[in-house]
Amino acid sequence: MKGEILKAARLIILSIWLMGLGSNAQLNSTFYASTCPNVSSIVSGVIQQALQSDARIGASLLRLHFHDCFVDGCDGSILLDNSGSIQSEKDAAPNTNSTRGFDVVDNIKTALENSCPGVVSCADILAIAAEASVSLAGGPTWNVLLGRRDSTTANQAGANTSIPGPSESLSSITSKFSAVGLSTTDLVALSGAHTFGRAQCRTFSNRLYNFNGTGNPDPTLDTTYLATLQQTCPQNGSGTTVSDLDPTTADTFDNNYYSNLQNNKGLLQSDQELFSTTGASTISIVNSFSSNSSSFFQNFAQSMINMGNISPLTGSSGEIRSDCKKVNGS
């Protein structure tokens, strides 16, 4: 009798534990294996098409996943347009006149709705597109974890506070990563995304002429590189002119970002700080990624999985949007 009660108690405890797992469901790499088996090749095909006319588009798509995940988790919230109840994250300071690639996301969504209607979330599209973009640019490949669902809300204020800015201190940026469960190694690895893509003059021009009110440029900028950047971004010129984030191999995903930092050729202040902040624990990580490309690739892939795991909506939370720009039925 006593044994039976104990058995029953064990069973109850086990099922409560399993239910707990269910509500905190994990993503997995085979989520669409039966419902949309070609999801990866469909996403990759649309991106390859887009790359034909825009070498930068992969970088832009990778950045969308980052800006999605840092605001209330990877839930596709960045894709929602303004509407009655939605204050779009697209209008938040880090995104406005800056994030791009939304039209390509819509093309991916259309292609997927044609093959597997109502199945693949917009949040997962961003995660798959990020991996495809990196691998198409010569970077690592990884098994993308899937099963995210889409939010029915956006958080513009959250986008303004949670996404790090290019003139922030290393300690402040580290705190923002830590706030979403990402480590210093994740910070250094993911910053390696600045191995491709572009940045507008307005995001780094504070370094070129009068850095922190000194009347001089940022002393951690290589002087030859400084001269080039001053030509691209003249004082009182257009803040929207763009410069390659990686001056050596602009559209290739490689580890040159880290040797650039060692050579004082980081474009953003936030990039150069990883190597030039006295005593920082990031310096040795920069050195190791600079000397070992496969270590960078491995760490980047793992850190992308870590970032992709930030607070996803799973199970019956959220929805599968049929149009990434709008909440269903609105």
Judge whether 122 and 98 are in contact, CB under 8 Å. no
Residue 207 binds ligand HEM (CB under 6 A): no
**Residue list 18-47, contact with ligand HEM (CB under 6 A):** none
Residue 122 binds ligand HEM (CB under 6 A): no
Residue 246 annotated as binding site:
yes
Residue 203 binds ligand HEM (CB under 6 A): yes
Residue 73 annotated as binding site:
yes
C-alpha distance from residue 266 to each of 9, 161, 263, 274, 323 (Å) = 60, 24, 8, 9, 38
- Under DSSP, the state recorded for 239 is T
Residue 190 binds ligand HEM (CB under 6 A): yes
Query: How much is the CA Rg of the chain, to the nearest whole Å?
Result: 22
Task: Give the type of residue at 17.
Answer: W
> Cβ 113 to ligand HEM, closest distance in Å?
25
Residue 60 binds ligand HEM (CB under 6 A): yes
DSSP per-residue letters across 279-323: T-THHHHHHHHHH-HHHHHHHHHHHHHHHHTSS-B-TTSSB--SB
Residue 217 binds ligand HEM (CB under 6 A): no
Q: Which of 76, 89, 100 minimizes the C-alpha distance to 149?
A: 76
Q: Which of 244, 229, 31, 198 minimizes the C-alpha distance to 98?
A: 198
65 catalytically annotated: no
> Cβ 206 to ligand HEM, closest distance in Å?
11
Q: Which of 56, 67, 148, 149 is catalytic?
A: 67
> Cβ 166 to ligand HEM, closest distance in Å?
4
Choices 15-23, 115-123, 144-152, 160-168; region in contact with ligand HEM by CB under 6 A: 160-168
Rounded CA separation 90/6 (Å): 56
Question: What residues line the site for ligand HEM (CB under 6 A)?
Answer: 56, 59-60, 62-63, 66, 98, 100, 164-166, 173, 187, 190-191, 193-194, 197-200, 203, 245, 268, 270
Which of the residues are catalytic? 67
